[in-house]
Chain A
Amino acid sequence: MSENLETFAGLLPQFGEGILVTLQLTLGGAILALLVAFVLGLGARARTRWASVPSRVVMEFFRGTSLVVQIFWLFYVLPLPPFYVELDPMACGIIALGLNYGAYASEVVRGSINSVHKGQWEAATALDLGPVHRLRRVILPQAWPLMIPMFTNLLIQLVKGSALAAYITLHDLNFMIVELRRGTTDTVFSYTVGLLLYFAIAYALTLLMNALEARAKNKVGQGPSLREILRVAPVQTRAEVGTPKPMVTSQLPPTSKGGV
């Protein structure tokens, strides 16, 4: 066991780099996925068929084809005739992850927008707010907190999906686990370390997303503000009151930006 740990310690710098590659794939993939999700999700809702049909076709295609095949296709097929496009492996990974998870997430965007209360749309129409303004200022701020929990799910899956990058020559965390196994010849140890490290990354992201969710909910008037949640010890202004009153929130200096 101590030998295993020694080998692991020796590989730590490389593990750090591997985790960095995994995080790069995750972040890049997530940003692209978010972009794809909003474009396809809003596109699918469009009234003109010119926007809604292509959006749905693209969505169904990338959702319905295997992520492994997509990554391999980008990496091995794209450089061949008639395409001759050679992408950097990192780009292949990010594009495949972004398109695949973006297709899933576009359903989240579409569904969340649809589940904003009908009365909100009607009130915006009654005030004659234009379609773009209505979406940006009224609907999306309310749909966003509905999206986040489902985005969290997809983000965790995306982290795990990024492990496929090891098969297109990237030295990510998954690659390093294989290296560790080669170094220690202990399969149980190596893959257990692997499990724990992936879990640690996923859990850290979950916490981050939970914070984002709390903030988004607070902005539509649900639940405490992030500042209140993160505050471990009570601050002086509230210390004198025994029972914390949720009403105090509204008297705090303006946490929300005053801009309109």
Chain B
Amino acid sequence: MPENDTTPAIQFQGVVKRFGDNVVLDGLDFTVAQGDRVTLIGPSGSGKTTILRLLMTLEEANDGLIYIDGDPYTHEMRGDKRVAIPDKRRSLVRRRVGMVFQQFNLFPNMTVLENIIEAPIHVLGKSKAEAIAIAEELLDKVGLSDKRDERPNKLSGGQQQRVAIARALAMEPEILLLDEVTSALDPELVADVLGVLRNIAETTDITMLIVTHEMQFAREVSNRVLMFDKGKIIEEADPETIFTSPAHERTQEFLRAIL
């Protein structure tokens, strides 16, 4: 992990997120260092996915600030007032963040290749030839070179998810958010997807934020695990410690239920 840069990749400062009366995140503070692989665990409704969605601007925090590489993302302080940053400026920061979804969300009106090259061409301004070259390399990496010209609905769930990973990587993100990426897959397809992600973790220094129920995978890939409960981090440790000797009672309960 590169330690030369001390600016955190991600920083949450007193982030509050409410859905109606339901407070999902209650003044959350945490930082993720460059190149960190952080797994978020905890019971459903504890706010893990909300953190990813805030980082993708799919939800908006009710209070608090989020920084990416030290840059204010959705809101900033002007004097002592918290003001929203317009979408044009958010977009420049958002470009550094990629996300893979539980439901893949490939575009059905495009082929596999078109799915991957769409944003690099139109958002990053790459030439078509360059975008295709990168896409082919990524398809090779996820083991789907032969599916290049297929429509997504001709692929299995596992294959679709691998395309979705390639599509996210084609944007050359500094931060990759993985939102329960194997939860919608048949058990026999999970291994392929996790293999691809393991490979990416080993060969790149992308900062990863992972929400998953695959504890074995979390153990192998991440260097830090955060245990969430009711919108707060209740325990934080390296995977070895948290999975073998969790300190907090809620963590013990949770792991006992899930393992």
Closest CB in chain B relative to A92 CB, distance in Å: 39
- For A140, the closest partner residue in chain B by CB is B109
29 contacts between A and B (CB under 8 A): A120-B105, A120-B107, A122-B56, A122-B105, A123-B101, A123-B106, A123-B164, A125-B58, A125-B94, A126-B98, A126-B99, A126-B168, A127-B118, A127-B123, A128-B91, A128-B94, A128-B95, A129-B123, A130-B123, A137-B107, A137-B122, A142-B107, A142-B108, A142-B109, A219-B109, A250-B149, A260-B114, A260-B117, A260-B121
Q: Flag if B105 contacts A129 (CB, 8 Å).
A: no
Within 8 A of A (CB), among B79-105: 91, 94-95, 97-99, 101, 103, 105
- Taking Cβ atoms with an 8 Å cutoff, the residues of B that contact A are 56-58, 91, 94-95, 97-99, 101, 103, 105-109, 114, 117-119, 121-123, 128, 149-154, 164, 167-168, 171
Q: Flag if A119 contacts B105 (CB, 8 Å).
A: yes
Q: Flag if A221 contacts B105 (CB, 8 Å).
A: no
Q: Flag if B171 contacts A138 (CB, 8 Å).
A: no
Q: Using A127-B118, A127-B171, A138-B109 as known contacts, list a sample of 17 further A-B pairs with CB atoms less than 8 Å apart, ordered by residue number in A.
A: A119-B105, A122-B101, A123-B107, A124-B107, A125-B58, A125-B94, A126-B56, A127-B168, A128-B91, A128-B119, A142-B108, A142-B109, A219-B109, A220-B108, A221-B108, A250-B154, A260-B118
With an 8 A cutoff between CB atoms, is A141 at the interface? yes
With an 8 A cutoff between CB atoms, is A238 at the interface? no
Contacts of A141 in B (CB 8 A): 109
With an 8 A cutoff between CB atoms, is A133 at the interface? yes
A137-149 Cβ-contact flags toward B at 8 Å (1 or 0): 1100110000000
Which 6 A-B pairs rank lowest in CB-CB distance, beginning with the nearest? A123-B105, A127-B119, A119-B105, A141-B109, A221-B151, A126-B99
Taken together as a complex, chains A and B put the C-alpha atoms of A250 and B111 apart, in Å, by 10
Which of A122, A129, A130, A142 has the most CB atoms of chain B within a 10 A radius of its CB?
A122
- Taking Cβ atoms with an 8 Å cutoff, the residues of A that contact B are 117, 119-120, 122-130, 133, 137-138, 141-142, 219-222, 247, 250, 254, 260
Closest CB in chain A relative to B68 CB, distance in Å: 13
Taken together as a complex, chains A and B put the C-alpha atoms of A126 and B149 apart, in Å, by 23
Taken together as a complex, chains A and B put the C-alpha atoms of A221 and B152 apart, in Å, by 8
Taken together as a complex, chains A and B put the C-alpha atoms of A133 and B122 apart, in Å, by 9
- For A246, the closest partner residue in chain B by CB is B154
Q: Flag if B108 contacts A129 (CB, 8 Å).
A: no
Contacts of B99 in A (CB 8 A): 126
Closest CB in chain A relative to B155 CB, distance in Å: 10
- For A216, the closest partner residue in chain B by CB is B109
Contacts of B121 in A (CB 8 A): 260
Taken together as a complex, chains A and B put the C-alpha atoms of A247 and B150 apart, in Å, by 11
Contacts of B109 in A (CB 8 A): 138, 141-142, 219-221
Taken together as a complex, chains A and B put the C-alpha atoms of A120 and B115 apart, in Å, by 12
Q: Flag if B151 contacts A250 (CB, 8 Å).
A: yes
Q: Flag if B91 contacts A221 (CB, 8 Å).
A: no
Closest CB in chain B relative to A4 CB, distance in Å: 53
- For B95, the closest partner residue in chain A by CB is A128
Q: Flag if A119 contacts B103 (CB, 8 Å).
A: yes
Taken together as a complex, chains A and B put the C-alpha atoms of A225 and B51 apart, in Å, by 42
Taken together as a complex, chains A and B put the C-alpha atoms of A260 and B101 apart, in Å, by 24
Closest CB in chain B relative to A107 CB, distance in Å: 23
Closest CB in chain A relative to B251 CB, distance in Å: 30
Contacts of B150 in A (CB 8 A): 250
Contacts of B98 in A (CB 8 A): 126
Contacts of A219 in B (CB 8 A): 109
Taken together as a complex, chains A and B put the C-alpha atoms of A221 and B58 apart, in Å, by 27
Taken together as a complex, chains A and B put the C-alpha atoms of A164 and B165 apart, in Å, by 57
Contacts of A260 in B (CB 8 A): 114, 117-118, 121, 128
Taken together as a complex, chains A and B put the C-alpha atoms of A137 and B128 apart, in Å, by 16
Q: Flag if A125 contacts B56 (CB, 8 Å).
A: yes
Which of A119, A126, A137, A250 has the most CB atoms of chain B within a 10 A radius of its CB?
A126
Taken together as a complex, chains A and B put the C-alpha atoms of A138 and B117 apart, in Å, by 13
- For A120, the closest partner residue in chain B by CB is B105
- For A254, the closest partner residue in chain B by CB is B149
Closest CB in chain B relative to A2 CB, distance in Å: 56
- For B91, the closest partner residue in chain A by CB is A128
- For B132, the closest partner residue in chain A by CB is A260
- For B93, the closest partner residue in chain A by CB is A128
Contacts of B107 in A (CB 8 A): 120, 123-124, 137-138, 142
Closest CB in chain B relative to A146 CB, distance in Å: 12
Contacts of A222 in B (CB 8 A): 108, 153
Contacts of A125 in B (CB 8 A): 56-58, 94
Taken together as a complex, chains A and B put the C-alpha atoms of A110 and B99 apart, in Å, by 28
Contacts of B151 in A (CB 8 A): 221, 250
Closest CB in chain A relative to B10 CB, distance in Å: 16
Which of A117, A127, A222 has the most CB atoms of chain B within a 10 A radius of its CB?
A127
